[in-house]
C-alpha cells in the first residue's frame, strides 16, 4: 500500500498539490480499533494499511477519488451510523436492491463500510459480509436512491491500484 501511495503522491505533487495538501495524516491504532469495534469485524489488511498512510482527506480541496471524497475514520463512522440508523428505523424495508453477484441483496448492510462519498448520499464501501462468490473486503458502490449494488473490485488493494493506474496514466 505504501508503494501505491508513493505513486499517487508523486502524481499529486506535480499535477494537484492542493489535493495532496488536503490529505490527512495517518490514522492511529485507536481510530482503526474503533472502526473494527463499530463493525464487529476486522478491517481488511489492505484498507488498514491505507489508513495508516492517510486517514482520508480534510475536504478542503477537490475529492481524491474522482467523484468521491476519501473519508476519514471519523467521517466513516458518521456515515455508517447514519445509514445504520435508517436501516434500524425501517426506512429501507420497502426497497428492493439489485445486487451484483457476490453482494448480498440489501439496500444497506451493517457490514458495509463507507470509505468514499460523493457528498450526495452515494458511497464506495468495503463489503465485510459478502454473499456466496464474493470476497471479504470487496469494493462495492452503494447509491442512495438507486437499487444497483455494484461490485467494483474484489479487494481494496485492487480497486486502489486500478484507480491510481487510471489517474497517473
CATH number of the domain that residue 52 is part of: 3.40.1580.10
Cα 98 to chain center, whole Å?
Answer: 20
Q: Is the pLDDT of residue 169 over 90?
A: no
At residue 72, the 3 state secondary structure works out as coil
Number of domains in the chain: 1
* Residue 47 dihedral angles phi and psi, to the nearest 5°: -75, -40
Q: What is the pLDDT of residue 160?
A: 98
Could you give the percent of the chain with pLDDT greater than 90? 97
Listed in sequence order, the residues at least 6 apart from 65 whose beta carbon sits closer than 8 Å to its beta carbon are 116, 124, 163
Asked if residues 95 and 147 have their Cβ atoms less than 8 Å apart, the reply is yes
Instruction: Read off the C-alpha cell for 144.
Output: 442512495
Residue length of the chain? 169
pLDDT band at 101, cuts 50/70/90?
very high
Provide the pLDDT for residue 45. 98
CB 122 within 8 A of CB 144: yes
Band of the pLDDT at 63, cuts 50, 70, 90? very high
Strand (E) or helix (H) holding 75: helix 73-88
Whether residue 129 contacts residue 109, with contact meaning beta carbons closer than 8 Å, is answered with yes
Alpha-carbon distance values, 123 to 17, 42, 83, 113, 142 (Å): 25, 20, 11, 9, 5
Q: What is the pTM of this model?
A: 0.95
Q: What's the rounded mean pLDDT across residues 97-122?
A: 96
- Per residue in 116-137, pLDDT (tens digit) is 999 999 999 999 999 999 999 9
Mean model confidence pLDDT for the chain? 96
- Residue 8's domain spans which residues? 2-168
pLDDT of residue 168: 87
- Percentage with pLDDT > 70 across the chain: 100
Amino acid at each position: 500500500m505504501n508503494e501505491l501511495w508513493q505513486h499517487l503522491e508523486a502524481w499529486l505533487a506535480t499535477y494537484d498539490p492542493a489535493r495532496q495538501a488536503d490529505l490527512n495524516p495517518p490514522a492511529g491504532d485507536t481510530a482503526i480499533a474503533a472502526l473494527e469495534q463499530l463493525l464487529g469485524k476486522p478491517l481488511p489488511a489492505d484498507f488498514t494499511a491505507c489508513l495508516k498512510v492517510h486517514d482520508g482527506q480534510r475536504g478542503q480541496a477537490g475529492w481524491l477519488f474522482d467523484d468521491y471524497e476519501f473519508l476519514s475514520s471519523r467521517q466513516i463512522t458518521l456515515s455508517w451510523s447514519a445509514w445504520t440508523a435508517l436501516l434500524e428505523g425501517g426506512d429501507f424495508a420497502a426497497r428492493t436492491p439489485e445486487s451484483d453477484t457476490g453482494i448480498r441483496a440489501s439496500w444497506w448492510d451493517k457490514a458495509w463500510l463507507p470509505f468514499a462519498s460523493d457528498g450526495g448520499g452515494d458511497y464506495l464501501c468495503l463489503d465485510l459480509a459478502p454473499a456466496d462468490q464474493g470476497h471479504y473486503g470487496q469494493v462495492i458502490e452503494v447509491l442512495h436512491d438507486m437499487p444497483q449494488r455494484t461490485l467494483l473490485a474484489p479487494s481494496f488493494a485492487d480497486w486502489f491500484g486500478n484507480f491510481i493506474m487510471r489517474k497517473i496514466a
